[in-house]
């Protein structure tokens, strides 16, 4: 072999190896990422060549495929589409765009279309036996009865509901309002489906937003006081009986701006008030004072234990709730009662309650239990995973008792359930001088053996501007969700 031929052979070999490596990376390493990319229309087209798997909740299909008479072979159909829209999302080969918060259809497209890595052997078996290709079923953790209770309770109010099983992190309900008809976005008529999407996308109430895990996040208001008190207990410098000054007005440090309690007066009688009473009566001033004493670094660290500043792959992936860095004392004081720059999703505030409910151990939230093949074999199982310890168990028990007092004798009385100790916290968050409040409740039940942690946000003041409150509007919604779980 001549020198030139040897050199050419080496160059050809290097080029072949480079091509082999690059295609291997695309087909193996990047395959899942590329298939899940909503801009990858090829993956969507391919998924309509096979009978797509069903999405299942409480043993029944809430999304399934039926034969289609057009070129796409299969038509996607949804049961109770508006109720399940934030869960399922939608998928369509002729739609130009996708919702800002995709659901199971998009995030688990590979499993549903039968192209996931866990389904490789199943695909090979079907090729060998000559059986038609089929996708796998995705079995959700959601409880249809609880989902309906949340959907009915929220009604036409603008907002969202999230319910979690504290011991496992399994999501039991995820509802958002306003919602949309996923069947209208499953049509194979390009003109009709794109017109329906454009109408929804242009709607100022943003029905395509999944407000439970994303969208325009709200300040959590007084529900964040749970994190402030958790920080205080964890510091070792405070107990529920620690006392704070009790003025009727408080000037934010370094400013001339004053804040007040919701009542406009002091937090009960006396020149001082305990942390327990300040939480029970949901007073702003003591929590602002406490936040300044603790400092923004300590509060942020505690908030991050509960999941703030992190997103979670349920799937789909949630928007991270925010507790910013480098706040001055004035901003830190505002975050003490959930105002200022702190924002949260209902998922996040449900996680706060779930961590407290579970003895201080917070579980990763998840919405999928397993992937089941066409032959009913379990191809993929999703396990419970611990996110972290948010609070020592003894301190956590103290916080639980304070939350129970909020419902039994505080300002969260509309969450009471006969014969059940409910732990909870309301919130009435301000969004600006003339803007409607965001109304919140988060809590769990039963307090001594928690089966469900729930968070509710009602936006736009529940139609009452700045007249409504978390107790009057959000708490009754949460009560109905907890009753559904408890069989009340």
Q: For 282-408, list the strands marked E by DSSP.
A: 361-363, 368-372, 378-381, 386-389
**Residue 75 forms beta bridges with which residues?**
66
Question: Would you say 65 and 74 are in contact if contact means Cβ atoms under 8 Å apart?
Answer: yes
Q: DSSP assignment, residue 356?
A: H
Q: DSSP assignment, residue 288?
A: H
HSE, side-chain direction, 13 A CA sphere, residue 189: 7
Specify the length of the chain in residues.
488
- Other beta carbons within 10 Å of 225: 28
Report the b/e string of 35-73 with b at 16+ CB within 10 A: bbebeeeebbebbbebbbbbbbbeeeebbbbeeeeeebe
Q: Kindly list the distances between the CA atom of residue 341 and the CA atoms of 300, 320, 321, 328, in Å, as whole numbers in the listed order.
A: 12, 14, 11, 11
**Residue 190 forms beta bridges with which residues?**
none
Which residues are CB-contacts of 139 (< 8 A; sequence separation ≥ 6)?
56, 368, 369, 370, 371, 372
DSSP 3-state assignment of 483?
helix
- Other beta carbons within 10 Å of 120: 12
Q: Is residue 222 flagged as an active site residue?
A: yes
CA distance 332 to 287: 10
Phi-psi region of 250 (alpha: psi -120 to 50; beta: other; left: phi over 0): beta
Catalytic residue among 64, 65, 187, 222: 222
Question: Would you say 442 and 226 are in contact if contact means Cβ atoms under 8 Å apart?
Answer: yes
Segment (H or E) for 103: none
CA distance 357 to 171: 15
CA distance 65 to 112: 10
Q: Is 337 exposed, middle or buried (0-12, 13-18, 19+ CB in 10 A)?
A: buried
Q: Which residues are catalytic?
A: 222
């Amino acid at each position: 072999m001549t020198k030139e031929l040897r050199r050419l052979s080496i160059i050809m070999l290097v080029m072949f190896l480079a091509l082999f490596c690059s295609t291997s990376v695309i087909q193996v390493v990047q395959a899942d990422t590329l298939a899940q990319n909503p801009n990858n229309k090829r993956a969507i087209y391919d998924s309509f060549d096979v009978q797509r798997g069903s999405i299942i909740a409480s043993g029944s299909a809430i999304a399934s495929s039926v034969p289609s008479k057009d070129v796409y072979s299969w038509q996607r159909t949804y049961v109770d589409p508006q109720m399940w829209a934030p869960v399922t999302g939608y998928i369509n080969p002729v739609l130009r765009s996708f919702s800002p918060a995709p659901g199971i259809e998009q995030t688990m497209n590979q499993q549903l279309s039968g192209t996931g890595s866990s389904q490789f052997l199943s695909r090979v078996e079907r090729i060998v036996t000559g059986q038609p290709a089929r996708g796998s079923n995705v079995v959700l953790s959601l409880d249809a009865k609880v989902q309906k209770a949340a959907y009915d309770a929220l009604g036409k109010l603008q907002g969202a509901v999230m319910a979690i099983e504290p011991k496992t992190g399994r999501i039991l309900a995820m509802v958002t309002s306003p919602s949309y008809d996923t069947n209208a976005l499953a049509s194979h008529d390009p003109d009709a489906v794109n017109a329906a999407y454009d109408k929804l996308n242009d709607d100022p109430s943003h029905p395509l937003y999944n407000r439970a895990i994303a969208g325009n996040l709200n300040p959590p208001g007084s529900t964040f006081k749970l994190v402030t008190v958790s920080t205080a207990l964890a510091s070792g410098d405070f107990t529920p009986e620690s006392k704070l000054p009790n003025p009727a007005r408080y000037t934010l440090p370094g400013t001339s701006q004053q804040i007040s309690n919701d009542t406009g007066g002091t937090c009960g009688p006396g020149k001082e008030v305990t942390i327990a009473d300040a939480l029970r009566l949901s007073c702003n001033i003591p929590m602002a004072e406490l936040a300044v004493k603790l400092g923004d670094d300590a509060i942020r660290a505690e908030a991050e234990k509960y999941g703030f500043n992190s997103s979670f792959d349920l799937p789909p992936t949630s928007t991270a709730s925010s507790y910013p860095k480098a706040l001055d004392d004035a901003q830190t004081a505002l975050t003490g009662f959930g105002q200022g720059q702190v924002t949260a999703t209902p998922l996040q505030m449900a996680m706060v309650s779930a961590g407290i409910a579970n003895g201080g151990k917070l579980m990763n939230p998840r919405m999928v239990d397993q992937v089941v093949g066409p032959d009913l074999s379990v191809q993929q199982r999703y396990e419970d995973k611990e996110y972290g310890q948010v609070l020592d168990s003894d301190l956590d028990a103290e916080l639980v008792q304070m939350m129970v007092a909020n419902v039994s004798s505080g300002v969260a009385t509309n969450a009471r359930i006969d014969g059940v100790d409910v732990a909870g916290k309301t919130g009435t968050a301000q969004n600006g001088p003339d803007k409607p409040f965001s109304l919140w409740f988060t809590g769990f039940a039963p307090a001594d053996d928690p089966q469900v942690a729930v968070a509710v946000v009602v936006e736009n003041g529940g139609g009452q501007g700045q007249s409504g409150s978390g107790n009057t509007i959000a708490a009754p919604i949460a009560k109905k969700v907890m009753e559904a779980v408890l069989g009340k």
